[in-house]
Amino acid sequence: MSDVGSIEDHDLGLAHDLGRISTQMVARRRALAWLTSAGATILVAGCGGGGGSSAGGSTSSSSDTTGTTTTSSGATTTSSSTSSGATSTGQCVADPTETNGPYPADGTNTSRGATSNALTVNGIVRSDIRASFLSSATVAPGVQVMLTITVVDVNNSCAPLAGYVVYVWHCDRDGSYSLYDLPAESYLRGVQVTDANGQVTFTTIFPGAYAGRYPHMHFEVFTSLAAATSGRNAKLISQFAMPRDICTTVYNNVSGYSASVSRLASSTTANDNVFGDNTSAQIAAQTPALTGSVSAGYTGTVTVGIAV
């Protein structure tokens, strides 16, 4: 989806790449509509973010900034809320292809002159992605989220796809990405293989918001673990849109998220440079259904539809 004219702060060094992505995607976006198929696949050496949709696995460069992270946080209230994601019984929606942004660490771009590819690194296959798994053992602070992702075939009555691989990554509560904004950290990134039900469950934190983007998580789907760790072979590259009611609850009530309050106020899925041209059905499918509270954490589900 096009991001021309609304590049986020993180993307200031990527104008030339993003412009090219937008150009390549315009024609294909109209043809894809509900079907999607994309190609793409952390840096061990020092080794994300928004931009517009990509029609075939975008390759981006990143403009790096070095930051630090804290290791503690506290929920200050016990307020709770519930958000419904979107699926109707017996039906599933093919997730639209989105950009992998400037911070994927999937082998498609570089950071500080080296190729960023976390997918080939021992330790990337894990369910709890809150801790860094390379040189640091820092645990990303924030409200816990346990998200179960179900991968299904939209061309086969929404049948579960077992043995597929899901790579998830997202920013921390400050809106920063490991291996890029925070080159010493490798948290909030992980890979899992779907079970017989086409499912994987990640334990992570609720992401913060940053200027220029609606709160989101990135993900890529591969047909096998071998495909995921051998190069740019993603079957789908897309993003989850975080439920707005949960965003409001977390950002307004939990220590460490306060900077996200004003950022959320100025962003919606409708004006976002990634989600903005999606249909209502696609946005619904891309929004996880979460239940819980800021004190107990959230659990949720989301279905990823792929046209196999």
pTM score, two decimals? Answer: 0.74
10 Å Cβ neighbour count for 196? 8
Q: Please, what sign has the CA dihedral across residues 87, 88, 91, 94?
A: negative
CB 234 within 8 A of CB 38: yes
CB 191 within 8 A of CB 126: yes
Task: Give every residue of the chain whose pLDDT is below 70, as ranges.
Answer: 1-90, 115, 231-232
pLDDT in tens, 134-164: 988 999 999 999 999 999 999 999 999 999 9
CB 241 within 8 A of CB 271: no
Supply φ then ψ for residue 30, to 5 degrees: -65, -35
Report how far residue 171's alpha carbon sits from residue 206's, in angstroms, rounded to the nearest whole number: 9
Q: Do β-strands 297-306 and 289-293 pair in parallel, antiparallel, or remain unpaired?
A: antiparallel
Phi-psi region of 262 (alpha: psi -120 to 50; beta: other; left: phi over 0): alpha
pLDDT for 231: 59
Supply φ then ψ for residue 283, to 5 degrees: -60, -40
pLDDT for 111: 75
Q: Which domains are delineated in the chain?
A: 9-306 (2.60.130.10)
10 Å Cβ neighbour count for 223? 16
DSSP the chain: ---TT---GGGGGGHHHHHHHHHHHHHHHHHHTT---------SS---------SS--------------S---B----EEEE-----TT---BPPP----S---EEEEEETTEEEEGGGSTT-B-SB-SB--SS--PBPPS-EEEEEEEEEETTTTTEE-TT-EEEEE---TTS--BTTTBTT---SEEEEE--TTSEEEEEEE-----TTS-SEEEEEEESSHHHHTSSS--SEEEEEEPPHHHHHHHHHHBTT-THHHHHHHT--TTT-TTTTTS-HHHHHHHS-EEEEETTTEEEEEEEEEE--
Report how far residue 130's alpha carbon sits from residue 168's, in angstroms, rounded to the nearest whole number: 12
pLDDT in tens, 156-194: 999 999 999 999 999 999 999 999 999 999 999 999 999
Cα–Cα–Cα angle for 120, 122, 125, nearest 5°?
85
pLDDT for 136: 87
pLDDT for 90: 54
